[in-house]
Chain A
Amino acid sequence: MFSKIAAMSQRFGPYVLCAAVFLAAACAGEATTGEKKEMPKEGAATTLGTAAQIRLDQPRLSVRLPVATSGPAADRLRQALAGPAGGATAELVLDGMEVSQPPGVQYNVYLGTAGPNPRRQYVGTLSFFGVAHGSGHVALPGRTFDVTEQLQALKGQGPQPAEVQVVFEATDGTSGSTAEKAGASLNRQAGLRIGAVRLRVQGKP
C-alpha cells in the first residue's frame, strides 16, 4: 500500500508542484513542470523567497515566490519599500543559468502580484548573445536585478506583498513582441535552465 502511494506521489509529484510553481502548458499535463521545485525553506538572513530548477522551454512561465512576512528579512524588506532613506534594496537574483543550444528567443522577466487581477512590472531581459549551435553546454552568468521600485509599485497600500510571481515571457526583443508570437521561434530543446530564483534584501540590517 505504502509503496503504491510512494509510486503515485512519484508519478504525480510534478502536477502537485503546479500549486507552487506553475507553467500554464505544463499544468495542463506536460511532465516538464516537475523540473521546477520549491527550495527548502530554511530561511537565510536576507532571503525572502526562493524557487529552484526552473526549466524555460515554454514561451511563458510563472514562478510563484512566497515572500517572508515576518523575521529580519521581512523587516528589511519593509525598510527597503519604505523609501530610499532606508538604505536597503530588494533584489531578484537568477543563479545557475545554463543552456545547451541557442534558445532562439530572449526572455523578458517581470515581477507580478499573485492571485486574481495580477499586476506586473518589467524587471529585465535575458539575452543569449554568444551562445552558438556549436557551443555545447554553457554556464551563463547570473543576473541580479534591483527590484525595489517594482515591489514598491506592486505592494499597493500594504507594507509588502505576501507573495509575488516571477514571470518569464519569450520575446524577440522588440517593444511590440508577444510571448505567443516569439514562441514560434523558441527552441524547446535549448536546455535553458535557471538553478535558482531568489528574492532577497541587501543593505544594512
Chain B
Amino acid sequence: MKRRMMARRVVRFAVPGILLLAFVASVAISRAQTAATAKPHAKPVPKVTLAPPPVVGVRMKFQDFVKDPKRLDALNKAIGVMKARSTAVNTSADYRRSWEYWSAMHGFYGPKAKAGLIQNAINAAPASKKQFFNGLHDLTYPPTPAGLAAQVWDKCQHGTPEFLTWHRMFLFYFEKTLQEAAQDKTLHLPYWDYTDPTQVQLPAQFAQPKLSNGTPNPLYDIRRRSQTVKLDPNATNIDNLLKKATYTSFRPEIEQQPHGYAHCTVGPDCPYPLMGDVPVAGTDPIFWLHHANIDRIFECWLKLGGTVPDSLKSKSYSFIDSAGNLVTKKYSDLPIDYTYDHATNCGRKATLKFTATTEGVETVTSLAQLPSFAINGVKATAKLPKLKAAPATTEAVTASGTELVLSNITVAGSPGVLFNVWLSTTGPNPRRQYVATLSFFGLSHHKGHEALNRNIDVTEALNALKGTSAQAPDVQVEFEATDGLEGTRPEAVEPVLNKKAALKVGKIQLQVKK
C-alpha cells in the first residue's frame, strides 16, 4: 500500500518536474542556437504574439459520451435551461437562447410561417396522428429587435445544395448556446450513431420521462413513434453513400437516407410531430443528435476526398450567438472548434478514398432552348433549334447529367389528361425515346400552387438516339396526351382533353450539367 502511495507521489511530482526541466532546457538550447546563428548586427526581431490555437473539443458517440455522467448532466442542464427560457419574455435575449426559438430557426407554424397555421396541419392529419400536435402552437415574430426573427426563423435548407452547409452552421451556433446554458465550454454535442447496427434504438436516456432524482428528463418527449423505436440497420448502412464522389450526388442521397429516413421513422411518421414534421422537428432533443450524426457523416465524406463547391462556401447565413445577438457568417469563415471522435473508417466496410473533384453546384451548358411552348391539342411537337456544336454535343452523350428541362409549366384549368414526353430525332425516319410523363395534380392557377418544373435526365435517351455517332443529334420534343395506360393513343383521349386548359411550357431547354 505504502509503495503504491510512494509511486503515485513520484508520478504526481517527479513527472511534471522532469517535463518542466525538459522545457526549460529546450528553451535554453533554442535561445543558444538562435544566438549562435544570428547575424552580429541583425535588427532585433519584433515579438510576435500568436493567438492561442482554438480549443478543440470532441463530438462523441452518445454511448461514449454518457460514460462520464458529468457530460450527460451538462447536456441535461443545458437543454433544461433552454426549455425553461421558452417562456421568457419574447423580446429578451433569453428567449433568443431558448428551445422554442432555436426550433423556430429550423421551422415553425404561425401566420408568417412557410408551413402556415398549425390548425391546418391538424385538420389534414388522420385521427391517429392528431395527438402528436398536443402542446404545439403557432408562433409569432417577437416585435423587437425588429426584423430579427424574420432573418433567422424558418431558414432550414432541405432539398437544396445548402442542406449540409446550413445545418453545419446551425449546429455550430446551437452548440455555443448549449455551452452557455450549461455554463460549460467543454460541452459538445454528442451524436446518435445509428450507422452502428448495435445503436439503432433510440438511446435509453431519451426514453425515460423522469431523471433518477424525480425531475422531468429534458431529453424525453412523448411525441415519438415509441420510446423504444428501433431503426432498421439495413437502412442506416452508409457504405454506398460514402462512395458518392461528387457533392451533387452525395448531398441528395444523405438528405434522403439516412437523414429523411431517420426523421420519418422516429416520426411517428412524416409529416407528423415531432421528428417527422419539418416545422417542429427541432423541438425533439433527439433531432440535434441525429443532425450531429449527419454532420459527422458529412465530415467522413470530406475526409474521403469529397469537396464542397466554392459557390456554397461563400454563402452567408444568420444565426443567434450565445449572448442572444445576431451573428452573420460565411460558411468558409466558420471557426470550427470541434472534431468528431470517429470521422474516418465510418462505413461498415472500408471505403476507398476518391479523387477530390472541384465541382460547381450546377455548371450548366445549354445545348438548345425554346421559349414559351403551348400544347393545345393531343399532339404537339416542339422543334428545338439546332444543337450547339461540339464539344457540348459530345459531352451530352458522355456526361451523366444531360437534362431536358421543362420550366414554368402552367395551366388555366385541369387538362383532363396526362402527357407523355418523347425525345425524337429530326429529319427522315425519326426515332424516338420516351423520357417522362407530365401529370397535373395540384397544379392550377389558384393561389398557393407553384408552376411545375421538370428536370428530366435524358442522357440515355440521347445515347440511344445518337446511334453510332459520337455526338448528340438534333432533336425535338414530342408531347402526346395519354390516360396513363399502356398503349393509349393520343387520339383516344381527345374527348377528355380540356381544350381550355391553356397548357404552356414556359421554357424548354436541353442542357448538360457538370
Where the two chains meet, the residues of A that have a C-beta atom closer than 8 Å to any C-beta of B are 9-10, 13-14, 16-17, 34-40, 42-47, 52-53, 95-96, 98, 100, 102, 104-106, 108, 122, 124-134, 136-137, 139, 141-146, 171-177, 185, 191, 193, 195-196, 198, 200, 202
Contact = CB atoms under 8 A, between A and B. Distances in A.
B234 A122 contact: yes
A175 B200 contact: yes
Interface in B39-88: none
B486 A14 contact: yes
B30 to A, nearest CB: 51
Contacts of A177: 232
B159 to A, nearest CB: 6
Contacts of B460: 44-47, 198, 200
Nearest to A129: B260
Contacts of A144: 249, 253
Nearest to A44: B460
A98 B454 CA distance: 10
Nearest to A47: B460
Contacts of B326: none
B271 interface: yes
Interface in B247-288: 249, 252-253, 255-257, 259-265, 267, 269-271, 276-278
A38 B434 CA distance: 10
- Residue of A95, A125, A171, A202 contacting most chain B CB atoms (<10 Å): A125
A142 B456 CA distance: 10
Given A106-B261, A125-B232, A174-B231, A136 B243 contact: no
A56 B267 CA distance: 21
Given A139-B452, A173-B267, 4 more contacts: A45-B460, A129-B271, A131-B271, A173-B231
A17 B486 CA distance: 8
Given A46-B460, A174-B225, A145 B264 contact: no
Interface stretch (B10-18, B373-381, B435-443): B435-443
B297 to A, nearest CB: 15
A127 B264 contact: yes
B419 to A, nearest CB: 12
A176 B235 CA distance: 12
6 contacts: A53-B437, A122-B234, A127-B256, A141-B159, A171-B232, A173-B265
A174 B159 CA distance: 24
A9 to B, nearest CB: 7
Interface of B: 115-116, 120-121, 124-126, 128, 158-159, 200, 225, 229-235, 240, 243, 249, 252-253, 255-257, 259-265, 267, 269-271, 276-278, 400, 431, 433-434, 436-437, 439-443, 448-450, 452-457, 460-461, 463-464, 484-488, 492
Contact of B124 (A10, A39, A134, A185): A134
A62 B464 CA distance: 27
A185 B126 CA distance: 9
A200 B257 CA distance: 21
Contacts of A176: 230
Given A98-B439, A130-B278, A191-B441, A13 B485 contact: yes
Contacts of A16: 486
- Residue of B257, B267, B270, B453 contacting most chain A CB atoms (<10 Å): B270
Contacts of B276: 129
Given A44-B461, A139-B452, A34 B485 contact: yes
Contacts, number: 191
A142 B255 CA distance: 12
A199 to B, nearest CB: 11
Contact of B484 (A45, A53, A175): A53
Nearest to B444: A136
B441 A175 contact: no
A146 to B, nearest CB: 5
Given A44-B464, A132-B121, A141-B256, A173 B485 contact: no
Given A40-B434, A44-B461, A96-B456, A134 B257 contact: no
B484 A174 contact: no
Contact of B485 (A14, A45, A129): A14
Given A40-B434, A133-B121, A133-B124, A172 B448 contact: no
Contacts of A100: 441-442
Shortest 4 CB-CB contacts between residues of A and residues of B: A173-B265, A133-B124, A129-B260, A137-B442
Given A44-B460, A44-B464, A128-B260, A9 B487 contact: yes
B265 to A, nearest CB: 3
B381 to A, nearest CB: 18
A137 B452 contact: yes
Contact of B270 (A35, A127, A200): A127
B253 A193 contact: no
Given A13-B486, A132-B121, A44 B264 contact: no
A133 B437 contact: no
A141 B488 CA distance: 28
Contacts of A108: 232, 234-235
B122 to A, nearest CB: 10
Given A53-B484, A127-B256, A174-B232, A105 B453 contact: no
A104 B437 CA distance: 24
Contacts of A38: 486
Contacts of B159: 130, 141
A68 to B, nearest CB: 13
B229 A129 contact: no
A52 B178 CA distance: 49
A86 B92 CA distance: 62
A137 B443 contact: yes
A141 B255 CA distance: 10
A96 B436 contact: yes
A42 B433 contact: yes
B431 A175 contact: no
Contacts of A125: 232, 235, 257, 261
B230 A175 contact: yes
A134 B120 contact: yes
A9 B309 CA distance: 52
Contacts of A174: 225, 229-232, 265
A139 B277 CA distance: 19
B431 A172 contact: no
Given A100-B441, A129-B278, A142-B457, A46 B463 contact: yes
Nearest to A136: B442
B464 A42 contact: yes
A174 B234 CA distance: 10
Contacts of B457: 95, 142
